[in-house]
Amino acid sequence: MFRQDFAWGVASSAYQIEGRDKEDGCGKNIWDTFTEEGRVYENQNAYVSCDEIHRYKEDFALMRLLGIRAYRFSLSWARILPEGTGKVNEKAIALYRDMILEMKKNGITPYITLYHWEFPQALQDRGGWLNEDVIGWFGEYAKVVAENFSDLCEYFFTLNEPQCFVGLGHLSGVHAPGKKMEIKETFQIAHNALRAHGQAVINLRKYAKQEIKIGYAPTCGVAYPATDSKEDIEAAKKVYFGFYNPIDNWTWNVAWFSDPVFLGSYPKEGLEKYKEYLPKITKEDMELIHQPIDFMGQNIYNGYPVRAGADGEPEFVSREPGFAKTAANWPVTPGAFYWGVRFLSERYHLPLYITENGMSCHDNVSRDGRVHDPNRIQFLDEYLSALCRANDDGADVRGYFLWTFLDNFEWDKGYNERFGIVYVDFATQKRIVKDSAYWYQKVIESNGKELGMNKQETPILFLNPVFTHNIWGGTRLRTDFGYEVEGDDIGECWGVAAHQNGDDTIREGIYAGKKLSQLWKEEPGLFGNVDIDRFPLLIKIIDAKDDLSIQVHPNDEYAKVNENGSFGKTECWYIIDCPENASLVIGHNAKTKEELSDMIHQGRWKEFIREIPVKKGDFIQIDPGTVHAIKGGLMILETQQNSDITYRVYDYDRLSNGKPRELHVEKSIDVITVPAKSVEDSVKSAAHVEKNKLNELYSCQYYKVFKIELDGKMEFEQEYPFLIMSVLEGDALLNGQRIKKGDHFILPNGYGKVELQGNLEIIASTI
């Protein structure tokens, strides 16, 4: 679980939300220039954006209402120092101080980022990050920040994502200042940025008015293992901290940007690989970069799977067709969160904040005036669950800053991508809280307990039946029901079974391959946590080509004593199909125990057996102690206690493998009820029940049995501990999933609303 003081926050950056006004005294920065040059999507700019400099009061109030407790935001360097150095813009100081006070008034802890990409244009004109003077410039800016805000704020981050502003800004040129520089120059820029970070740490501490805590917020796609094998984990780690990128894309690197800051040296592998491009790196430089730091930040959005190849070397694994993506086309990879956090913690041994994580979606205002963003909720749920697991497995995770609160100016993509949990109508500046924000609120309030991982998953549990071969069995389970099973003596399909003589496995989904008996033990919540030591029911389809033996079952008390603790067997049948003039055996004609014993011992079967006519759709309840037998030609769905105890009274003198099957005459006489229950009490027709309804056919202490005849649509609430269903005819959609004849499945506890549409016949049961 997350720590009690976990910082549940949102993140933003100054340029992406602030906007400006003519009187604010803000200096020009490289993104102003970049947008003026028309290098952003549809010529858009951020002169208004979310108009945050005028609307922060309302926005912080909204954060409070949504229970957000921490806010990572950035200061605009050129707003504070319009020329980058020198004269301070007092209006900016006043603005940011008021913002911080307002945050605090709303119960929000401020986390300040010094640099989130809007480099002052005046300093860009003097060479920008390539000029080594930037170390002094950034140091001066840090001093001004410490002097003016450290009395109000305890937490600071120096740089946001140097990988991006070095690479996208100076190598590929898709971000401001839009340069495509020599590789060598970009190494100089990176080295300068790291030194500037060190200088900022020194000055923040030196000029701070109280004890402050400082971190750093790099990023990178995460190499995560394709499987949990030791080899794949090692391979992924090797790539994550290694140097696998081509040189013209070298800046996407973890170790190069983090080892110097956290460990005090550039990684050896990189020093070797990049030697021809490196600037002069001195001992003093490394000391400057390696300032004591309180925590690491990391922005993680996604990653890529890696495995160990045959030669032990890492191999990149391609994503499956149709893999989940964000609106920005970034892959959805919660595994990256788990493994990234673990790998970073193991290497750097520092407390960690996720300084950014989130998802862009094509959000839209619905007719109800709200913004429904289920994809974002799912994304956040999976990522936060992964984070929680990484934390449980040893990483020291202190906080999470969701990117981002408001939809905003997404750099070169302009307003084309929406990352917010609050929708912004850029024409009117109206804010609409998206569903994801309400969801996040619940997660915060429960300190993570509301995450999916902490809730019982309730998927439909489809089962792989087990089949038995019997002397009286036929082929209809294959020919009518389509089960793939060989032989012409297939007697029984154990559609829902968790018995030692036949234990079904789960067919698909998160529990795929698990035995039903195992699931019953491991996930009792799926079955309503009922206090029974084994799965209580057994559902079979029986195809009797020939007559079954005349038999009887014991009750619980008898079975417990005489059958090794087994359940007794109460059962019932629903006749799926039978010929005209079909019959079966139910009950007997003996009036006393003595007569019963005589009839059996003397083989007076004609007198003894009570055979009755039956029709398709009949429902027959068979209490323990009831003599019964299924006759040839019948196809039956049987719902019974989870037991396999049968006492054979008479087997028509048949031979199986040349020998008569075992009879259990004395035990039968022990358990047979005398006199037998009347026929009327045992049999009723269930051929026609009310359509589109869960109709109860029978209820006893062991089970309730229902029939559904679906013709069109129906819905109901699954409110039983669990509900077993066997489809006997037709097909339909159950909450979007196709079910068809021959399917057996369980709707677990808490499954909720069941919507069915189609045409089918189901026998359902529960306890």
Least separation in angstroms between residue 328's CB and ligand BGC is: 7
3-state secondary structure at position 274: coil
Of 146 and 159, the one with the shorter C-beta distance to ligand BGC is 159
| DSSP conformation class of 505 | E
Of 419 and 472, the one with the shorter C-beta distance to ligand BGC is 419
Among 403, 440, 527, 535, binds ligand BGC (CB under 6 A): 403
Among 118, 410, 480, 709, binds ligand BGC (CB under 6 A): 410
| Token couple for 243 | 């140097």
Least separation in angstroms between residue 50's CB and ligand BGC is: 13
Least separation in angstroms between residue 234's CB and ligand BGC is: 28
Characterize the bridge pairing of strands 550-552 and 498-499.
Answer: unpaired
d(CA 93, CA 96): 5
Least separation in angstroms between residue 404's CB and ligand BGC is: 7
Of 299 and 642, the one with the shorter C-beta distance to ligand BGC is 299
Scanning 18-89, the segments in alpha helix (DSSP H) are 30-36, 52-65, 77-80
Of 73 and 138, the one with the shorter C-beta distance to ligand BGC is 73
- For the beta carbon of residue 372, count every other beta carbon within 10 angstroms: 15
Of 119 and 419, the one with the shorter C-beta distance to ligand BGC is 419
d(CA 335, CA 300): 11
- From the candidates 356, 417, 571, 761, which is the catalytic residue? 356
**Which helix (H) or strand (E) segment is 340 a member of?**
helix 334-348
| Token couple for 574 | 């629903």
Cβ-proximal residues to 144 (8 Å cutoff; 6+ apart), any chain: 80, 81, 88
Q: Are 601 and 595 in contact (CB under 8 A)?
A: no
Q: Are 420 and 405 in contact (CB under 8 A)?
A: yes
Least separation in angstroms between residue 219's CB and ligand BGC is: 6
Among 13, 251, 436, 626, binds ligand BGC (CB under 6 A): 13
3-state secondary structure 221-232: CEEEECCCCHHH
Q: Are 677 and 552 in contact (CB under 8 A)?
A: no
Of 222 and 516, the one with the shorter C-beta distance to ligand BGC is 222
How much of the chain is in helix, strand and coil states, percent to nearest 5? 30, 30, 40
Q: Which of 333, 401, 402, 330 minimizes the C-alpha distance to 361?
A: 330
Least separation in angstroms between residue 126's CB and ligand BGC is: 25
Q: Where are the beta strands (DSSP E) in 348-488?
A: 352-357, 397-403, 422-425, 430-433, 461-464, 466-474
Of 138 and 165, the one with the shorter C-beta distance to ligand BGC is 165
356 binds ligand BGC (CB under 6 A): yes
**Which helix (H) or strand (E) segment is 135 a member of?**
helix 134-149
Of 161 and 638, the one with the shorter C-beta distance to ligand BGC is 161
Amino acid occupying residue 276 = E
Least separation in angstroms between residue 340's CB and ligand BGC is: 14
- For the beta carbon of residue 360, count every other beta carbon within 10 angstroms: 24
Least separation in angstroms between residue 377's CB and ligand BGC is: 18
Burial 145-171 (b: 16+ CB within 10 A, else e): bbbbbbebbbbbbbbbbbbbbbbbbbb
Q: Which of 716, 720, 715, 725 minimizes the C-alpha distance to 750?
A: 720
Characterize the bridge pairing of strands 352-357 and 296-299.
Answer: parallel
- For the beta carbon of residue 106, count every other beta carbon within 10 angstroms: 18
Query: Which residues, 58 to 97, sit near ligand BGC by CB under 6 A?
Result: none
Least separation in angstroms between residue 65's CB and ligand BGC is: 24
Query: Which residues, 152 to 171, sit near ligand BGC by CB under 6 A?
Result: 160-161, 164
251 binds ligand BGC (CB under 6 A): no
Scanning 82-131, the segments in alpha helix (DSSP H) are 90-105, 121-124
How many binding residues for ligand BGC (CB under 6 A)? Answer: 11
Least separation in angstroms between residue 116's CB and ligand BGC is: 6
Of 187 and 403, the one with the shorter C-beta distance to ligand BGC is 403
Of 252 and 277, the one with the shorter C-beta distance to ligand BGC is 252
Query: Which residues, 581 to 620, sit near ligand BGC by CB under 6 A?
Result: none
Query: Which residues, 194 to 223, sit near ligand BGC by CB under 6 A?
Result: 219
Annotation says 313 is catalytic: no
Query: Which residues, 414 to 433, sit near ligand BGC by CB under 6 A?
Result: 419
Amino acid occupying residue 4 = Q
Of 220 and 630, the one with the shorter C-beta distance to ligand BGC is 220
Q: Which of 671, 653, 672, 647 minimizes the C-alpha distance to 551?
A: 647
379, 382, 386, 389: CA torsion to nearest 10:
150
Per-residue x/- marks for ligand BGC, 291-320, CB under 6 A? --------x---------------------
Least separation in angstroms between residue 19's CB and ligand BGC is: 16
State the catalytic residues: 356
Contacts with ligand BGC by CB under 6 A lie at: 13, 16, 160-161, 164, 219, 299, 356, 403, 410, 419
